[in-house]
Amino acid sequence: MTKPVLIIGGGPAGLSAAHAVAAAGRKAVLVEKEDRLGGAPILQGYAKLVPSHEWAKDAIGGMVDRVAGNANVTVHTGAQVQSFDGTPGAFTATLKDGTTIDADTAILATGFTHFDSLNKPEWGFGTYPDVVSTVQVEQMISSGQGIRCPSDGRVPDRVAILLCVGSRDRQIGREWCSKICCTVSANIAMEIRELSPKTNVYIYYMDIRTFGLYEGEYYWGSQEEAKVKYVKARIAEVTSDGKRLLVKGEDTLVKRPIAIPFDMVVHAIGMDPNVDNMTLGSVFGVELNKYGYIDKKSTYVTMAETSRPGVFVAGSATGPETIDDSIAQGAAAAIAAMNFGAGAPAQAAE
Amino acid sequence: MPIHEKSLIRPENLVEHEELVIDGVDVSGHWSTFIKPRTIFDYNEAMQDEIAALPGGENIHRCWQCGSCTNACTVNAVNPEFNPRYWIYLIRLGMEEELLRDKDILWQCVSCNKCTYACPRDVVPEAVMKATAHWMELKGHTPKSNSTHFDEEFASQVIATGKIEESRVIRGFFRKTGQPLNQPWLAALITGLVRRFPLGYLMRMGWATVFRPKTRGWSASRRAIREYVHEREAENRKALGLDATGGH
């Protein structure tokens, strides 16, 4: 088998998969919907990444350069797969512009879509300009503009970060935990405190899930060093008193209602399934799970397999995922895809 | 519908008019009962920094509300209203009004330090209780506590002479706290001493009480200690945004 591995999606998982395939001396074809590689960290303008504290444009930019300059990788940007036919070892993908690509196997690294806060209107996004998302704060930091209220450009005295916006919420059909928002919010809170020491930052949470080693640096660090304050309260409503935003809810530890004025409210938005997943599922003939992510088989004896033989999946296409884990999964999917071409793993083991 | 969490209704928030007629309808007595909202409208953001600036309050921001301190607390076992974890939370978030509701029990910490050993985050809750009680005194929310009176009497004697004289400490403490000197337990203690102590001891004690001997060469130490105490007090008052003089 000498046909290339087709990789859909040029974010951390796809870039990692393409690099792994190329490093093994095989050919990869990388198809990216947007006009440039890098995925969410680059396209959405993330600032410093967790846990490396490297700027996204440097860290993920390095991954892009490694792949873009590689003779074993053919990149199609601004391209989408229209149809995907054939069997393992003899797949043919047709792009929307008519280009056809022959491939042994395919890896879906199609990522996620940020939750749109307009779906939680009670929290003021879209109604008040100073209610923003974590992505907007990332952009304020990465652009060098600094933390400023969009309404009048002032530096906020007080910022509230609301966790679980579009996560763990049965009301809007999103029961999953998006996994990264607690840590990202703690990171953002610390960066706000560093950029503007006069700004007090409050994080309103249901539970804190800064899992694993993030606990020390982010959860503890944000409290011990950056003096970020954590309040156990699911916010009921964000309104305005005409001058400042009013955050209403119940402080569950004090068992009293709160209505606290803030200059800026940040939604820690979750990770939705990619909005294109229905199309992707139908084009590639793979099943989605009940939440709408691409279904992945159990990992004990298979690696990165979808419901269709020869089509693999990696990164946040399968559910909320960190950048580091997406990169690892991309490499794992690449190995699985190349091994699949060499013969079924069960036979190889005999 | 029955009222759940009835314990959350505070007496001061209940409004009732003995005589009230609205639009010709007599709603006197409990017919006019109204419960004022308990909403918290703002945080006092300076409070945590102020208490953290006082000796003992330094580590308050480390608390993550596990409750080990309250669980270990000697006083909490007797009075469930005595809740260090809760107060630390209030201080951290600046809920001054809520904290002040407990100003009359907060000083009751007996400094057993069981919380200090239980705390997984080295907050030293015992020291935080002291700093908080101190903050309340400096801010004028509470009068000086009995333990403050005792400490002051004790310290003033040490500063004056380099020594303490027990009977003088007790007399000064009772005077400052408005307690009668004629306490049965004290009378029993003194008569017991007089009966059992050798005469030489008693004479020396009597002599020390009357003449208040100083430690040799104490005046230089006294100056240094006074200077240090003034410095620290001025710092504390400055941290709380108070003027440099006054207080104790």
Q: What's the structural domain count of chain B?
A: 3
Q: Residue B61 and residue A224: Cβ atoms within 8 Å?
A: yes
Q: What confidence score (pLDDT) does residue B4 get?
A: 67
Say if residue B112 is in the same domain as residue B132.
yes
Give how far A259 is from chain B: nearest CA, Å: 5
Residue B245 lies in a domain: no
Pick from A198, A218, A224, A232 the residue to mutate for testing the B interface (most B CBs within 10 Å). A224
Q: How far apart are CA A247 and CA A123, in angstroms?
A: 9
pLDDT band at A343 (very low <50, low <70, confident <90, very high): low
Residue among B88, B98, B91 at smallest CA distance from B122: B88
Position A261 pLDDT exceeds 70 = yes
Q: What is the pLDDT of residue B64?
A: 84
Domains within chain A, CATH numbers bracketed? 5-111+274-349 (3.50.50.60), 117-271 (3.50.50.60)
Q: Which of B89, B104, B138 is the last residue of a domain?
A: B138
Which residues of B touch chain A, with CB atoms under 8 Å apart? 5, 8, 37-43, 45, 48, 61-62, 64-65, 86, 89-90, 92-93, 95, 98
Same domain, B153 and B183: yes
- Same domain for B78 and B160, yes or no, is no
How far CA A331 is from CA of A9, A50, A334, A342, B97, in Å, comes to 14, 20, 5, 17, 56
Range of the domain at B126: 46-138
Task: Give me the pLDDT at residue A25, please.
Answer: 96
Q: How many CB atoms lie within 10 A of CB A42?
A: 21
Q: Are residues B51 and B88 in the same domain?
A: yes
Q: What is the pLDDT of residues A100-132, one digit of tens each?
A: 999 999 999 999 999 999 999 999 999 999 999
B56 and B125 fall within a common domain? yes
Nearest Cα residue in chain B from A202: B93
Q: Does one domain contain both B121 and B73?
A: yes
Interchain pair B39, A227: CB under 8 A: no
Checking if the pLDDT of A175 tops 50, the result is yes
Contact by Cβ (8 Å): A258, A251: yes
**Which CATH number characterizes residue B51's domain?**
1.10.1060.10
Per-residue pLDDT, B30? 87
Structural tokens at position B241: 């945004």
Residue B223, domain member (yes or no): no
What is the share, in percent, of chain A residues with pLDDT greater than 90? 94
Q: How close are the terminal C-alpha atoms of chain B, in Å?
A: 54
d(CA B224, CA B151): 19
Please list every residue in chain B whose beta carbon sits closer than 8 Å to the beta carbon of residue A261: 42
Q: Is the pLDDT of residue A1 over 70?
A: no
Retrieve residue B244's tokens.
């440099």
Q: Evaluate whether A314 touches A17 at the Cβ level (below 8 Å).
A: yes
DSSP H helices, B6-145, are 46-53, 68-72, 74-78, 84-93, 96-100, 103-106, 114-118, 125-138
Burial of B184 (0-12, 13-18, 19+ CB in 10 A): exposed
Judge whether A333 and A17 are in contact, CB under 8 Å: yes
- The minimum CA-CA distance between B141 and chain A, rounded to whole Å, is 21
Res A131: pLDDT: 98
* Residue of A73 and B29 predicted with greater confidence: A73
How much is the pLDDT for B58? 94
In a domain, B227, yes or no: no
Q: B111 and B130: one domain? A: yes
Cβ contact A253–B89 (<8 Å): yes
Cis ω on the peptide bond leading into residue A12 (within 30° of 0)? no
Residues B117 and B182 in one domain: no
Residues 6+ apart with CB under 8 A from B108: B75, B79, B82
Contact A251 B90 (CB under 8 A): no
Q: What is the ipTM of this complex?
A: 0.80
A347: pLDDT confidence band, cut at 50, 70 and 90? Answer: very low
- Tokens in use for B63? 């608390």
Asked if B201 and B185 sit in the same domain, the reply is yes
Q: Which residues of chain A are at the B interface, by a Cβ-Cβ cutoff of 8 Å?
A: 158, 200, 220, 223-224, 227, 229, 231, 251, 253-261
Residues in chain A: 350
Please give the pLDDT value at position A350.
42
| B209, part of any domain | yes
Where does a domain end: B138, B166, B192?
B138
Say what the pLDDT of residue A349 is: 43
- First-to-last alpha carbon distance for chain A, in angstroms, is 21
Q: Is residue B21 part of a domain?
A: yes
Q: Is residue B41 part of a domain?
A: no
Using the 3D structure, point to which of B114, B138, B162 is the last residue of a domain.
Answer: B138
Q: What mean pLDDT is predicted for residues A37-48?
A: 97
Residues of A with CB below 8 A from B45's CB? 158, 200
Residue B101 lies in a domain: yes
Residues B168 and B198 in one domain: yes
Residues B59 and B87 in one domain: yes
Q: Indicate if B53 and B134 belong to the same structural domain.
A: yes
List the structure tokens of A161: 């970060």
pLDDT band at A346 (very low <50, low <70, confident <90, very high): very low
Confidence (pLDDT) at B193:
87
> How high is the pLDDT of residue B181?
87
Q: Which residues of chain B have pLDDT under 70?
A: 1-4, 244-248
pLDDT reported for residue B209: 85
Residues 6+ apart with CB under 8 A from A196: A146, A147, A155, A156
Would the pTM of this model clear 0.95, i.e. be above it? no
pLDDT of residue B244: 66
